[in-house]
Structure 1
Amino acid sequence: MKKLLPIIVFILFAAIGVGAGKFLQPAPEVEVVEAPTEEGETDEPLPTRSPDQPPRDPDEVIEYVKLNNQFVVPIVIDERVASLIVMSLSIETTDLKKDDVLRKEPKLRDSFLQVLFTHANLGGFNGEFTRVDKLNSLRRLLVEVAQRDVGKEAVYDVLILEIARQDY
């Protein structure tokens, strides 16, 4: 028994030491690694104005027309709705063209929904859907259809005011 007691004490203290070491261990350092970008890809916002759009007059009063209702886009995976994207959009225009934008809002909504559905079907809302490059490509497409429907002189930009994804 005398020879067994020191071994038991040694094992007990070793177990306590290992437990204390695990418990008091500092949190592992997280190494931040920048994701590799493809050639030409940047996180900088890209201009959405089309190159053939006439330059903006500096004296123009800029107006923002918020489209009345949110856009709801279903994300379908394996023939079932896996999530919903909810977006609010505004159109940057001049005070003189604001009425044109409002008058053509139903046509704009239809065109925007077509772009949003296509973007969703191509996987644009999967994963990190708020990455700058994904949102810039979506915004460029929205500007193109808005300029087609209302006129290049009436639409300067499309602003994404809110965007959210609800997964099911």
Structure 2
Amino acid sequence: MMKKILILLVPLVSLAAGVGAGSLLKPEAETPGESDHGAEAPAPDEAPEYVKLSNQFVVPILRDGQVGSLVILSLSLEVRPGQSEEVYAKEPKLRDALLQVLFDHANAGGFDGGFTEGAALSPLRQALKEAAQVALGQIVTDVLISDIVRQDG
């Protein structure tokens, strides 16, 4: 039993460490204009702020009742200027809402096949944005998927 657990945990810990290291070496935020997922554009004199959520999201993909894969994502929010603290103040509620969207997406098969194609990620981005707006209000103008990886077991 312990051997089975170790066989599953070692690759996951290695993956998490690699993704974490990659996140640390990656620039913190996109510059305005790099993301055009249909977000409302702020006024030209008001550049949006980008808030990188502190922890990654880990989504198990079940196959025949067993964890067959894990999808690990890093998300950032595009928010109206001066609203970063509001995001951090409500982060537990926000993470819960975003995780529910990710679990629903996984259960619908959204992380199968070519899940990184633009057409496949667009509905996920929209659902994440809507969930973030329910949790935080209209301060959220977009949700950015800054990292995504699927680890098949």
**Does TM, scored on the shorter chain, surpass 0.5?**
yes
Normalised by the shorter chain, which TM-score bucket?
0.7 to 0.9
C-alpha distance in structure 2 between counterparts of 1:81 and 1:132, whole Å: 26
Deviation of 1:82 after TM superposition, in Å, equals 0.4
Task: Say what the alpha-carbon RMSD is for the aligned residues.
Answer: 1.6
Work out which of the residue numbers 160, 165, 168 in structure 1 matches 2:145: 160
Distance verdict in 2 for CA 1:63–1:46, change over 3 Å = closer
TM-score (norm. length: structure 1): 0.67
Matches within 5 A, 1:39-118: 47-49=37-39, 56-118=42-104
Alignment partner of 1:140 is 2:126: yes
Look up the SS of the partner of 2:97 in the other structure: helix
Deviation of 1:46 after TM superposition, in Å, equals 7.3
C-alpha distance in structure 2 between counterparts of 1:113 and 1:126, whole Å: 18
TM-score (norm. length: structure 2): 0.73
Q: Runs of 5+ in structure 1 lacking a partner?
A: 1-44
C-alpha contact 1:75 1:81 (8 A) present in aligned 2: yes
Q: Mean alpha-carbon deviation: is it higher for 132-141 or for 58-67?
A: 58-67
State the number of aligned residues: 119
Letter in 1 for 2:100: Q
C-alpha distance in structure 2 between counterparts of 1:71 and 1:47, whole Å: 21
C-alpha contact 2:70 2:152 (8 A) present in aligned 1: yes
Question: Which is helix-richer, 1 or 2?
Answer: 2
Q: Mean alpha-carbon deviation: is it higher for 118-127 or for 128-137?
A: 128-137
Q: Runs of 5+ in structure 2 lacking a partner?
A: 1-34
C-alpha distance in structure 2 between counterparts of 1:105 and 1:47, whole Å: 22
Letter in 1 for 2:149: A
Cα deviation digits, residues 63-118 of structure 1 (max 9, x gap): 11000000000000100000000000000013311111111111110000000000
C-alpha contact 1:46 1:136 (8 A) present in aligned 2: no
Which residue pairs with 2:114 in the alignment?
128
Letter in 1 for 2:110: G
Deviation of 1:161 after TM superposition, in Å, equals 0.4
Percentage of identical aligned residues: 52
Larger Rg: 1
Letter in 1 for 2:91: E
